[in-house]
Amino acid sequence: MQHQIWLDIDLRAIAHNCRQVKSLIPDDTSFMAVVKANAYGHGDIQVARTALNNGADCLAVARLQEAISLRQAGIRAPILIFGQTSLEDVPKLAEYDLMQTVYDPDIAYKISKKAVYLGTRIKSHIKIDTGMGRLGLNTLPEDKSSQTYDHTVLESIAKIDSLPGLEIKGMFTHFAQADNPDKSYTLEQLHRFLHFATDLKFREINIPVLHAANSAATIDIPESHLGMVRPGIMLYGLYPSPHQNNTLIDLKPAMAFKTRIIQVKDVPAGFKVSYGSTYTTPAPTRLATLSAGYADGYPRILSSRGCMLIRGCRAPVVGRVCMDQTVIDIGGLQGIQPGEEVTIFGKQGEDLLPVEEIADACSTIHYEIVSSIPGRVPRIYHPHEEQ
């Protein structure tokens, strides 16, 4: 079948990026490949296999269903679920041998009770909030000037650690600003985390693995690597942000978003384009209608604003982006026929339209653009076998 829109996914690039992660971390630091949200849109099964073949020790996803589909594809590496799993699904955690994040003593107690009833123990990682302000046992002291943390949290962890239905495999925290060139907030979070871990040790609570580093911290905060790193975005060849020190690694973007021209039209000046007739051609030109729209993950905000690559040239999007179609102006180009390939972002031969540029034009981040491309866009893997 000839696709009218598709994603080219370069698994060699994923393999290369995984080896880059390995080159940054000590041999005794584990590497958890974050493949949540369908591996940031790249395809979780193929990416997971490639990562595991190139240095990753284990995987992480956001939700139970994501973990189950990896297991159903035959992936046997340890998998951590970052988000919540409902109590009724505790048997599935056991059945599929998954690791669950716990961050609340009451929920942990209920999971444990269920596990004991089932005659099993649920492998768990405790999540603590050291300043991200999202998920995790809150360790932040009420008195902001205090250098340490709220000690009642130690009691909660001790309780969770003693639960008979849980097997505590690790403890982690997440950074809010690891990509900030000013690392002080991240180091404060790291120190709070480590201080806390040390105090747990004093109480003879030994947590096997401590982990904190996302991609930005993996790239340029070596002291945050601890027992394990959890990179996501860098596996896909994207730098977390332009702000951290990116000279330490060489990443290769793995995704290219492609579509085809389905109609070419020569039009006069004054020709109105797409819904709302918001664009009028200022001069005679040639327009190409493409098989790509906002239901393919091409944001509507790029109406009369975005551009795409065709034959190495940037062609502007004219008029509104529709659900399944978009129009570009190919005025300067000769001999373009329906069926011709257009690159929405990524590489086209030697030319590149970086996804970061698309994200900037939408006032968002590349994470959102790549992870929002829906399942109706087929992923084509190169090479076809995992690397």
Catalytic one of 117, 201, 265, 275: 275
One residue of 114, 169, 230, 286 binding ligand PLP per CB under 6 A = 230
Q: Which of 36, 123, 169, 347 is catalytic?
A: 36
> With CB under 6 A as the contact rule, which of the stretches 146-154, 230-238, 245-253, 313-321 interacts with ligand PLP?
230-238
Bridge partner residues of 337 (DSSP): none
Nearest-10 Cα torsion for 199, 201, 203, 209: 110
Q: Return the residues of window 270-329 that contact ligand PLP according to CB under 6 A.
A: none
* CB closer to ligand PLP out of 232 and 319: 232
Nearer to ligand PLP among residue 44 and residue 340 (C-beta): 44
Here the tokens at position 100 are 């669950």
Q: Which of 30, 112, 215, 325 binds ligand PLP (CB under 6 A)?
A: 215
Distance CA 293, CA 80 (A): 34
Applying CB under 6 A, among 231, 293, 297, 306 the residue interacting with ligand PLP is 231
Binders of ligand PLP among 32-51, rule CB under 6 A? 34, 36
Amino acid identity of 284? P
Is 36 labeled as catalytic in the residue annotation? yes
Phi then psi dihedrals of residue 86, to 5 deg: -70, 155
Q: Residue 231 or residue 299: which is nearer to ligand PLP going by CB?
A: 231
Number of residue whose CB is nearest ligand PLP: 232
Q: Verify binding: residue 255, ligand PLP, rule CB under 6 A.
A: no
> For ligand PLP, which is the closer residue by CB, 165 or 253?
253
| Least distance CB 215 / ligand PLP (angstroms) | 3
Q: How far apart are CA 1 and CA 293, in angstroms?
A: 20
Segment interacting with ligand PLP, rule: CB under 6 A, options 116-124, 229-237, 290-298, 371-379:
229-237
Nearer to ligand PLP, 5 or 98 (CB): 98
Q: How many helices (H) and strands (E) does the chain have?
A: 11, 20
Q: With contacts defined by CB under 6 A, how many residues of the chain interact with ligand PLP?
A: 11
Tokens 């849109």, residue located = 41
- Determine how β-strand 209-213 pairs with β-strand 166-172: parallel
Exposed, middle or buried by CB within 10 Å (0-12, 13-18, 19+), for 361?
middle
- Indicate the burial class of 117 (C-beta count within 10 angstroms; 0-12, 13-18, 19 or more): exposed
Q: Is 174 in the site for ligand PLP (CB under 6 A)?
A: yes
What is the nearest approach in angstroms of ligand PLP to the Cβ of residue 263?
39
> What is the nearest approach in angstroms of ligand PLP to the Cβ of residue 63?
11
Name which of residues 85 to 104 contact ligand PLP (CB under 6 A).
none
Burial of 319 (0-12, 13-18, 19+ CB in 10 A): buried
Catalytic site residue 236? no
Q: Does residue number 177 form part of the binding site for ligand PLP (CB under 6 A)?
A: no
Contact 190, 210 (CB under 8 A): no
Give the one residue of 136, 165, 240, 297 binding ligand PLP; rule: CB under 6 A: 240
- One DSSP character per residue, 289-304 reads EES--GGGT--GGGTT
Select the residue interacting with ligand PLP from 38, 214, 303, 325 (CB under 6 A). Answer: 214
At 62, list the tokens. Answer: 């956001």
Provide the 10 A C-beta neighbour count for residue 379.
Answer: 18
Is the CB of 229 or the CB of 261 nearer to ligand PLP? 229
Nearest CB to ligand PLP, comparing residues 230 and 260: 230
Helix or strand run (H / E) with residue 219: helix 215-220
Identify the bridge partners of residue 345 per DSSP, sorted by sequence position.
257
Smallest distance from ligand PLP to CB 285, Å: 41
Report if residue 130 touches ligand PLP, rule: CB under 6 A.
no
Which of 123/230 has CB closer to ligand PLP? 230
Nearest one of 180, 200, 327 to 240, comparing CA atoms = 180
H or E segment at 49?
helix 44-53
Q: Are 78 and 99 in contact (CB under 8 A)?
A: yes
* CB of residue 127 to ligand PLP, shortest distance in Å: 8
Name the minimum Å distance from CB 367 to ligand PLP: 7
Residues that bind ligand PLP (CB under 6 A): 34, 36, 82, 174, 214-215, 230-233, 240
Catalytic residues: 36, 275
